[in-house]
Amino acid sequence: MDRPGDRPLRHPRTNLRLQGEQAMAENAKLLVVDDEEVVCQACRRIFSRQGFQVEASVDAREGLSWATQKDYKIILLDIKMPNMDGIQFLERLREKNPNVPVLIITGYPSIPNAAAAMRLGACDYVTKPFTPEEITRAVQRVLSMQPESPAAGAAATEQAPSAVSATGDVLFWHESWFRLEADGSACMGAVLPGLHRATGIGVRLPRIGEVVYQGLPMASVTIADAPPVLVPSPVSGVVVAVNEALAQHAACLSSDPCGYGWLACVCTTRY
């Protein structure tokens, strides 16, 4: 395994940015829960230099105990661990602490696992092996996301977009998903990292009557001024409906990406 902590931060622009961010991280606690000691030690070296107080555990049960009793700025969590996996960890953590940011780190990328983690409030994920720059960017990206105000959250709950009537299982194609509906159409959407608690989310939906093709972009999502993330269509077909309510309730893309956060429905021409 390429040990992520063995390569120093060499890029001068990266180093200047981290020097500025170190003041923000000063005295902030960061928890790493991963059954690989090398990952824990690498994260300890990387983030201690940035001013974080880093605590690490190779035991998921011990890490969960710390996570529910202490105040952490962010938690870095592995998915595949003995005794308790990352999804179980998140389920129990959210019962006690629904708001602490969680970044998934995993050597086993899986869209279904990512979808489950996002539904439980994970903010983003990175894959192992990672470089110090990659894990640093992921943590700073999560910490830069501003939480929505309670009033905005309440408004989204009261006026949420409508869900579609599902008749089948959700099937994933890369980050996109589709599901057959009662009328024979296919509902489509996506599970995207980096949306949890983000503000300024914008959505570009396809037009009704537009033909979309499997593997080609059918929608795009932006966060603030960042470049748009293109969402590939999981199936080919003609668009018959779009979730226009997302224009006002884009948070559903994070809170319920496979339900209220659907993007479009198509009359399929090919699976």
From residue 112, alpha-carbon distances to 118, 143, 224, 238 in Å are 10, 24, 27, 26
Looking at the structure, tell me whether residues 29 and 114 fall in a common domain. Answer: yes
Reported confidence tier of residue 165, pLDDT bands at 50, 70, 90: very low
Of the candidate ranges 33-47, 63-77, 117-131, 245-259, the one whose mean pLDDT is the lowest: 117-131
Looking at the structure, tell me whether residues 195 and 102 fall in a common domain. Answer: no
**Helices and strands per DSSP (H, E), number in the chain:** 8, 14
Residue 5 located in a structural domain? no
Sheet hosting strand 211-212, strand order edge to edge? 171-173, 176-180, 186-190, 264-270, 236-242, 211-212
Residue 176 located in a structural domain? yes
Residue where one domain finishes, among candidates 111, 144, 177: 144
pLDDT at 138: 83
pLDDT at 98: 85
Q: pLDDT tens digits for 76-85? A: 999 889 889 8
Looking at the structure, tell me whether residues 257 and 200 fall in a common domain. Answer: yes
Does position 70 have pLDDT exceeding 80, yes or no?
yes
Reported confidence tier of residue 4, pLDDT bands at 50, 70, 90: very low
Residue of 269 and 263 predicted with greater confidence: 263
pLDDT at 37: 94
The number of folded domains in the chain is 2
Give whichever of 21-30, 59-68, 145-154 has the largest mean pLDDT. Answer: 59-68
Does position 219 have pLDDT exceeding 90, yes or no?
yes
Residue where one domain finishes, among candidates 144, 178, 201: 144
pLDDT at 150: 43
Residue 214 located in a structural domain? yes
Q: pLDDT tens digits for 105-123? A: 877 666 566 667 767 777 7
Other C-beta atoms closer than 10 Å to the C-beta of 149 total 10
Residue 4 located in a structural domain? no
pLDDT at 183: 65
Reported confidence tier of residue 228, pLDDT bands at 50, 70, 90: confident
Residue where one domain finishes, among candidates 122, 144, 166: 144
Residue 150 located in a structural domain? no
Picking from 53, 46, 57, the residue whose alpha carbon sits closest to that of residue 28 is 53
Residue 151 located in a structural domain? no
Looking at the structure, tell me whether residues 250 and 202 fall in a common domain. Answer: yes
Reading the block at residue 94, the tokens are: 């959210």
CB-CB contact of 56 with 17 (8 Å): no
Residue of 183 and 129 predicted with greater confidence: 129
Looking at the structure, tell me whether residues 17 and 140 fall in a common domain. Answer: yes
Looking at the structure, tell me whether residues 179 and 128 fall in a common domain. Answer: no
SS3 159: coil
User: Which domain range does residue 230 map to?
Assistant: 158-270
Looking at the structure, tell me whether residues 138 and 162 fall in a common domain. Answer: no
Looking at the structure, tell me whether residues 242 and 198 fall in a common domain. Answer: yes
Report percent pLDDT > 90 for the chain.
29
Q: In the 3-class helix/strand/coil scheme, how is 6-73 assigned residue by residue?
A: CCCCCCHHHHHHHHHHHHHHCCCEEEEECCCHHHHHHHHHHHHCCCCEEEEECCHHHHHHHHHHCCCC
- Residue 117, class by beta-carbon neighbours within 10 Å (0-12 exposed, 13-18 middle, 19+ buried)? buried
Looking at the structure, tell me whether residues 18 and 139 fall in a common domain. Answer: yes
Looking at the structure, tell me whether residues 134 and 178 fall in a common domain. Answer: no
Residue of 16 and 192 predicted with greater confidence: 192
Does position 35 have pLDDT exceeding 60, yes or no?
yes
Residue 3 located in a structural domain? no
Looking at the structure, tell me whether residues 116 and 163 fall in a common domain. Answer: no
Looking at the structure, tell me whether residues 193 and 240 fall in a common domain. Answer: yes
Residue 177 located in a structural domain? yes
CATH of the domain at 235: 2.40.50.100
Cα–Cα distance measured from residue 249 to residue 226, given in angstroms and rounded to the nearest whole number: 19
- Helical packing angle, 132-144 and 37-48, nearest 10°: 70
Reported confidence tier of residue 127, pLDDT bands at 50, 70, 90: confident
Cα–Cα distance measured from residue 221 to residue 204, given in angstroms and rounded to the nearest whole number: 6
CATH of the domain at 74: 3.40.50.2300
Report percent pLDDT > 70 for the chain.
75
